[in-house]
Amino acid sequence: MNTSLRRRLLAGLILGFIVVLGLALLSDIRQVGNHLAAFSWRLLPLILGGTLFNYTLRFIKWHYYLGLIGIRSLSWRRSLRLFIAGFPLAVTPGKVGEALKGVWLHQETGTPVARAVPVVLAERISDGLAVLALSSLGVIAYPRYWPAFASILGILLLGVILSQIRPAALWCLGLAERLPLVSRFGASLREFYEGTFVLFRPGATLIAVSLGTVAWLGEGLAMYWVLLGLGIAPGTNTAATAVFVLSFSTVIGAVSA
């Protein structure tokens, strides 16, 4: 990773620390301190392990996607650096800043930006489908969340399905290329579509969503152990609530950001 990427990552980590510190100062600092003092720190290895498990599987999915679009010369180590460098970009509205990973992939491998950016899109959609799968049982118990759940699921599935209707997509691209303001971007649009088409093939989507579901389940268990550390009684209901709250809030937060 070049120096500029390291600086971006460091800046993102510093920003994250400042945000956490600011939230602590805005809240009751004494109460926060009391909760931290009473926290069962013996659960910390489990919490960190669940979170690390999540990111490990999501990195495997990222590297799998790179192979699908033809990036096979990038080592696991360099791929991991780019994956981690994208973390600070997740705080941008809608996580659109993560599209910069497409630029970095171009700098590292020469892959056209328009072909690399769909990897970021596929990551977000597969993660969205994964957390929706995890929250599906919980949503049944909360009818007021059904409209939001159905709307988000429908939009994500529609995007995947439309990308696979190749004749219609190519016709739309051909039409767009005849428009004066769009024609000069025709090659990039076709490159973007080709990447999207490959990444959203049924088999690739099934693998990605399966990896994402297991990954976010690990994060949900980490949330469960946090609740136990705060003194909440253990049990199946607590675990199910933790997984539901973590997964559904993740997708709602991504949509509303």
Render pLDDT for 63-112 as a digit per residue (tens, 0 to 9). Answer: 999 999 999 989 999 999 899 888 877 766 666 678 888 888 998 999 99
Domain that holds residue 31: 1-38
Q: What is the pLDDT of residue 25?
A: 62
Give, as one character, the DSSP assignment of residue 234.
P
* Mean pLDDT, residues 164-190 taken together: 87
Q: Are residues 11 and 76 in the same domain?
A: no
The overall average pLDDT reported for the chain is 85
- Are 93 and 20 contained in the same domain? no
Do 22 and 83 reside in the same domain of the chain?
Answer: no
Indicate whether 3 and 30 sit together in one domain. yes
Same domain for 179 and 251?
Answer: yes
220 and 162 co-located in one domain: yes
My answer on whether 76 and 4 are in the same domain is no
Number of domains in the chain: 2
Q: Is the pLDDT of residue 256 over 60?
A: no
Whole-structure pTM value: 0.84
* Residue 207 shares a structural domain with residue 221: yes
Q: 20, 30, 33, 35: which is closest to 232 by C-alpha?
A: 35
Task: Kindly state whether residues 21 and 57 are assigned to the same domain.
Answer: no
Same domain as 212, residue 111 = yes
What are the tokens at 98?
């993560």
Buried b (16+ CB within 10 A) or exposed e, 70-86: ebeebeeeebbbbbebb
Average pLDDT over residues 115-134: 93
Give me the mean pLDDT over the 237-257 stretch. Answer: 81
Decide which of 133 and 16 is more confident.
Answer: 133
pLDDT at 85: 84
CB 129 within 8 A of CB 121: no
